[in-house]
Amino acid sequence: MSQKKAIGFGTAPVFFTAISTILGAILFLRFGYAVGTLGFAGVLLIVLIGHFVTIPTAFAISEIATNQRVEGGGEYFIISRSFGLNIGGTIGIALFISQAISVAFYVIAFTEAFEPVFNWFKNTYGFSLPRQVISLPAMSLLALLILKKGANMGVKALYIVVAILFLSIFLFFIGKTEYAETAAAGISNSPLRNMDSFFIVFAIVFPAFTGMTAGVGLSGDLKNPGRSIPIGTVAGTLTGLVIYIFIIFKLVNSASPEDLVGNQLVMGDIALWGWIFIPIGLAASTISSALGSVMVAPRTLQALGNDKTFPFQRFNRLMAKGKGDANEPFNASIITIVIAFIFVAAGDVNAVARIISMFFMLTYGSLCLISFLNHFGSSPSYRPIFRSHWVLSLIGFVFSIYLMFKMDSLYAIIAIVVMIILYIYISYYHSERQGLESIFRSALFQINRNLQVYLQKNQSIKKKTSWHPSAICVTEVNSDRDNAFKLLTWISHKYGFGTYIQYIQGYYSSTAHDQAKEALDLLIERAESRKSNVYVDTIVSPSYTSAIAQIIQLPGISGLDNNLALFEYDKKDPVNLEQIAENYPLVRSGNYDVCILGGSNRGVNFHEGIHIWVRRVDYENLNLMVILSYIILGHSDWKGGKIKIFNVRRPGQHDEATDHLLELVKTGRLPISLKNIEFIDIDESMNLKNLINEKSVKAGLTMIGFRSEQIKHKGEKLFEGYNEMGDILFVNAFRDKEID
């Protein structure tokens, strides 16, 4: 049985589209000026620095293309499938506009090939013809070719113009001049000069190197993108690099710096039969570049329409609609041609061309960043046949951003601002789409893994005296209490870490697993709705005690061990208080600080701040209560709240806790004025709980220290008797904390 021949292009169109754009208008019109201004070494440096962007980008595209099938849209498809449709759409729209305006840029540059005709007309008739007498008919013929014949005929025409282009360059290389025979010719007599103008010249020349991705836009029309894109793109980039170096060498040896700067068609004076073939080569290079852009831009727009990027659904459908068996982007081509005609008619796209360069640089930087993140993320699904190196990708990304600002800081800022505004609008319109996809997730996994391993291995970090609370809390899955979650939210807002775990009583099974998953989804929703930094999870365990035994052995999310266990009970219905007291020794065996939160049903009076009660027996608890208070007050909920300390002491007795408190204030380690510290003398006839109820009834949060011996002898009764107050946090420090 005969098989139907696959529809699509091979590798050659990718290579020729790239090389014809690389060896374009800048080569013929501006390279002589660059060499004359900076000398051989200066322009060679420009070429090498420029390829610090283009080579990594070519390698990055090649790598990604061999890992996944690159469908229609080329660069846009790669970026949108890596960074998500919203970011991809943002860069894609900017990329399409840049490609469409590039068509006009190349058509206007095409008219420079007719400079002898314009000069003859002016000398003969005394006035200058506008460039539009050439550019508008040329644009019309180009539009007619694409709309009538499509990309297939465009590629055939591309072969012809590339042949002319290479012929003109060949004639340039074999050409001879009188200057080449003089002693002044040569690299040694072309020193490095005018380096204060280096980046000005760089900005003029750099667009010459940016054609290497032109062929990628044909991705949807290729038989085998995974083969054609790497070969065509890398071959085009490296071929362009080699030709540029030889052209610099030829220019230096063939013309004086004055001629190079003063004559934009100086290559015509050097080439064999250059008076005719260099203008023809310029025409071929510019029209081939325009042809490449007018084929690529509609395919980017068609891909944007397929992804419903624009806020107008009818427009999306029209742009996505193709024509014929090859799905030619006819409607998208019309939009591209209209944009190009507008700028061709205007006749001057210099300012716009500078922004175009910025958008291209952002695109190249994004492609290199994708490659770097894929390497760094080490996802098992990323298995490209062609492999670049992550260092090369990182260099490409860094140089893309750096060179943007070195070429033109103002236009770099304008380009970035435009992209940000565009992204905000697309994200608003497509709010249902996720922001970033798996590429960042894999990278974050690797960062987290490496940090966790580093922190575990680096024992000196654990031994440092600087202390951060890494709190872990366990509650029943059917509990409707919320006080502990709020407390963890305050602790983990800036300075600490919080882990909130709900336990499901029972033995692990598929049913229990599903129940735990449902409970976890609800917890995540709660954390997201409150913009909380608390890490949430669920656990299945036969009993509360076994759940605690499992949880206190869990590693901390900070990479260091958890160091504070938080329990919660309802003061009006303390059904679980007894089991909290019973499991206290188990938690302490893990060297944990222990906090037991007595929750109330009234709202938190943030304005009244936090009250700390200090007694003689609370010397080791004082610092922990103070540190926790400052961490909690760092949350925006507590804005304007203050810390007030009540120091309870026996009359006439030396009090170590009081001395320590005064020392902290005196040395400035405790930034509380004495007016916020109340010293209370209490004798045996006074009831401390009644005093606390009286003084702290309006407090947003009250902290009271306790000792292991107290909970051992009094059990749950230690925590009773505070029903009229708000939330109370009972604090027991495993060891004294330093306040620096």
| Rounded alpha-carbon distances, angstroms, from residue 229 to 83, 211, 291, 361, 712 | 21, 13, 18, 20, 74
How many CB atoms lie under 10 A from the CB of residue 327? 17
Structure confidence by residue, pLDDT tens digits, 405-442: 988 888 888 888 888 888 888 888 887 776 555 556 66
Question: Mind listing the pLDDT tens digit for each residue in 447-482?
Answer: 777 776 666 666 555 555 567 888 999 888 766 678
- Which has the higher per-residue pLDDT, 540 or 83? 540
Pick the CATH number of 461-732 from 3.30.70.1520, 3.40.50.720, 3.60.140.10, 3.40.50.12370: 3.40.50.12370
Tell me what pLDDT residue 295 has: 81
Residue 458 or 390, more confident: 390
Q: Distances in Å between the alpha carbon of 196 and those of 36, 42, 259, 494?
A: 14, 11, 21, 47
One-letter amino acid for residue 81 of the chain? R
Query: What interhelical angle do 85-110 and 330-346 show, nearest 10?
Result: 50
- Are 544 and 583 in contact by the 8 Å Cβ rule? The answer is yes
Coil, helix or strand at residue 540: strand
Q: Which amino acid is at 678?
A: E
Tell me the domain boundaries of the chain: 12-429, 461-732
Separation of alpha carbons 684 and 275, rounded Å: 113
H or E stretch covering 324: none
Residue 696 CB burial class (10 angstroms; 0-12, 13-18, ≥19): buried
Task: Please state at what angle helix 132-174 crosses helix 85-110, rounded to 10 degrees.
Answer: 80
pLDDT of 2 higher than 50: no
**Residue 397 and residue 365 in contact, taking contact as beta carbons nearer than 8 Å:** yes
CA distance 497 to 513: 26
Nearest to 367 by CA among 93, 81, 72, 78: 78
CATH number for 12-429: choose from 1.20.1740.10, 3.40.710.10, 1.25.40.80, 3.90.1170.30: 1.20.1740.10
How far is 251 from 651, CA to CA, in rounded Å? 98
Q: What is the pLDDT of residue 113?
A: 79
Q: Name the phi and psi angles at 315, rounded to 5.
A: -65, -40
What's the pLDDT score for residue 435? 53
d(CA 628, CA 614): 14
Would the pLDDT of 250 be above 50?
yes
Q: How far is CA 535 from CA 500, 647, 648, 708, in A?
A: 6, 35, 37, 29
Residue 378 has what pLDDT? 64
Half-sphere exposure of 727 (CA within 13 A, CB side): 27
Q: What is the dihedral of CA 691, 697, 699, 700, to 10 degrees?
A: 130
